[in-house]
Amino acid sequence: MNKFIIGLAVLGVLGIIVYSLSGTPNYHDITHKEFEKYKENLENMEDSPIKEKGTFDFFEPNEEWIVEADFVPSKANLDFSMDMTDSSKVSAKLAGEAIFEKDGQKFKVLIFEEETNYLLPFTDKTCGKESYGGGRYVNIPKEDLDGSKIIIDFNKARNFYCAYTESYICPIPPKENFLNIEVSVGEKNYIK
């Protein structure tokens, strides 16, 4: 009887080990699938910004670029005058500031209100080299704000549509959102 119980316990442990190693998707795999879905959706949109065939590429996902930042809300959703690529300006609702540390540096960026997400437009040291020169953005789900903390996943950094064609008018990330570091995750420069 004892051997039977021990045998069942061993089989149970082995089953758990096999299950945990049997293809449970990890962050890397999930992020790659999101990249592929994003590319497919972008290319197949009715009003797609992809006018000529080019090469999409993404940095390898890196969970170290999921940062928890302190969030300081703006007073009464102040309007912020954001420059656009056609030299116009648009009024954007400032949600607040996110403050975080990465690789020993402290950063403070402006976060803007959108309908279902927050918007973080930014530039970094990869812009104009590995990534689009005009900057990138991260859409932050509103549920990623919890009190005074906000989760920013830079792996989800995407190019503005003007990276694919100059016929689009895009926001220019504010100078406050220049990150003096290489953000080597998210979407790379689109090669036409």
At 111-124, the pLDDT tens digits run 999 999 999 999 99
Query: Average pLDDT of 150-155?
Result: 98
DSSP conformational letter for 179: E
| Residue 139: how many other CB atoms lie within 10 Å | 15
Residue-level pLDDT at 21: 54
Phi-psi region of 155 (alpha: psi -120 to 50; beta: other; left: phi over 0): alpha
The whole-angstrom separation of Cα 122 and Cα 119 is: 10
Helices and strands, number each (H, E), in the chain: 2, 10
Report the alpha-carbon distance of residue 13 to residue 72 in Å, rounded. 47
Question: If you ran DSSP here, which 8-state letter would residue 59 be given?
Answer: P
Span of 91-95, 118-122, 154-158, 165-169 with lowest mean pLDDT? 165-169
| pLDDT tens digits along 53-82 | 767 889 999 999 999 999 999 987 689 999
- On the question of pLDDT at 18 being above 50, the answer is no
Nearest to 187 by CA among 141, 124, 144: 124
SS3 string, 62-92, reads CHHHEEEEEEEECCCCCEEEEEECCCCEEEE
What distance in Å separates the CA atoms of residue 122 and residue 111, rounded to the nearest whole number? 10
Q: Dihedral sign for Cα 172, 176, 182, 186, please.
A: negative
Domain boundaries, the chain: 25-179
Angstrom distances, CA of residue 92 to CA of 47, 96, 173: 24, 12, 12
Q: What is the pTM of this model?
A: 0.83
Instruction: Flag whether pLDDT at 91 surpasses 50.
Output: yes
